[in-house]
Amino acid sequence: MPLASPRKLRMILNTFTSGPQAWFFVAAERGYLREEGIALDFTDGDTAANAVPRVASGEFDVGYGDMNALIELAAAGGEAQAVGVFATFNASPYTIAVPAASALRAPADLAGRTLGSHPNDAAMRMLPEFALKTGLDAARIGVDISTLPHPQMLRLMLDEQRWDGMFGFVNTLRAAAIEAGINGDQALRFLEYRQHVPDLYGSVLRVTRRLLDAEPHIVTGLVRAINRALTDTIADPDAAIDAVMRRDPAIDRAANHARLAGTLALEMSHPEGARLGIGDVDDARLARAIALIVAAKRHPRTPVPGELFTRRFLPPLAQRVRSLARDASAW
């Protein structure tokens, strides 16, 4: 039964309002959260990695951000104070985008090159893991930090050769190309982490350990509402983008529709989804990701999967989205 007065929760998003957050706004607009006795107060974030410590510190009750940043936080110190409860990205979204006309075609070609990156970009943070798995020396790759918007960064890379490549999310950079008036399919080539570092997950909904322990019914309701909204988003992406645009009418609709469509087709289409459904993770795969991150960054401890993610709040498998999964042979 919903509470008489909704439980207000503060939520930090992974970044500015965008298409791949659509299910959160759908859950709010269609009353799914209200039915669970919850009211979410959304705050834009700046990167998927930065959202993690802001939940762990208790500044926010709920967050949407990078699973690997959560692993790092726990591996660097004590028990994680934020716990994943609904994993949306079952494939890594990270990439290094390079000009299609360049000679950069494989990870080994990056040695001696300089890559542009936003501060604390999740893909840039995972460069040691990418390098370890591909046999690169990360010290031989230069990183130049820029706070410019991605569309401007793409122009600087392609038109002025400011950098040899750029870190980012595949669909974020594809959308940025649209905003910059660039045909990304022709102008860009992607060295995708999902192909070279396949054990890494991506974005996950997480809550504070305090909320999980003290109000488990609220966490159950939150996950149930988001799962319903994700199902709606997949059934009608146009209506879902309408909800995104109502939150921020100033954003580019075409670019954000492309971001949403691309995210559903790539970051959420790992073959694992047919078996587990969107929301769950494979413990053995997560353990391998943890081991890789600990080894690449020489962290002092190795957390166990159950410390970082719990499936106790997930809806039954029959209610989870399984239709996005690609056939393994196509992956």
Listed residue (2, 18, 3, 19) closest to 264, CA to CA: 19
Instruction: Count CB neighbours of 307 within 10 A.
Output: 15
Residue 210 has a CB neighbour count (10 Å cut-off) of: 12
Question: In the chain, which residues fall in CATH 3.40.190.10?
Answer: 7-91+200-330, 94-196
| Fold classified for 94-196 | D-Maltodextrin-Binding Protein; domain 2 (3.40.190)
The per-residue pLDDT for range 233-274, each reduced to its tens digit, is: 999 999 999 999 999 999 999 999 999 999 999 999 999 999
Output the DSSP codes for 85-106: EEE--SS--EEEEEETTSS--S
For the chain, 331 residues long, the average pLDDT of each consecutive 10-residue run is 79 95 98 98 91 93 95 87 97 96 96 95 94 96 96 97 96 93 94 96 97 98 98 98 98 95 96 98 98 96 96 98 87 71
Residues 90 and 179 sit within 8 Å (Cβ to Cβ): no
pTM to 2 decimal places: 0.93
- Look at residue 190 and give its three-state secondary structure: strand
pLDDT at residue 194, as a whole number: 94
Q: Which fold has domain 7-91+200-330?
A: D-Maltodextrin-Binding Protein; domain 2 (3.40.190)
Q: Which residues contact 79 (CB under 8 A, 6 or more apart)?
A: 209, 303, 307
Question: What's the token pair of residue 251?
Answer: 């954003």
Residue with tokens 């469509």: 261
Structure tokens that stand for 148 in this block:
């410019």
Over its C-alpha atoms, the chain yields an Rg (Å, rounded) of: 19
DSSP type of residue 207 = E
Give the DSSP letter of residue 107. Answer: G
